[in-house]
Amino acid sequence: MARRESTVQRVEPVRGQVRLQGEPVAAYPEVPPEALRGEVRRITVVGEDVLHRRCRDVAEDEFGTPALARLVDDMFATMRVAEGAGLAANQIGVDLRLFVWDCFDDDGVRHVGHIFDPVLDELPAGARRLVEDEEGCLSVPGPRAALARPDRAVVRGRDLDGRPLVVEGRGYFARCLQHEADHLDGGLYIDRLAARERRAVLRRMEERKAEVFAGRAVRAEELAALRRTSA
Per-residue DSSP letter, 2: B
Q: What are phi and psi of 9, to 5 degrees?
A: -70, 120
Sign of CA pseudo-dihedral 37, 38, 40, 46: negative
Tell me, yes or no, if 34 is annotated catalytic: no
- Cβ(148)–Cβ(131) below 8 Å: yes
Pair 86, 100: CB distance under 8 Å: yes
Closest residue by Cα to residue 190 from 47, 41, 6: 47
Spatial contact of 37 and 71, defined as CB atoms under 8 Å apart: no
Is residue 56 within 8 Å of residue 97, measured between CB atoms? yes
Beta bridge partners of residue 156, listed in sequence order:
119, 166
The active-site residue out of 30, 39, 180, 221 is 180
Element (H, E) at 56: none
Please identify every residue annotated as catalytic: 180
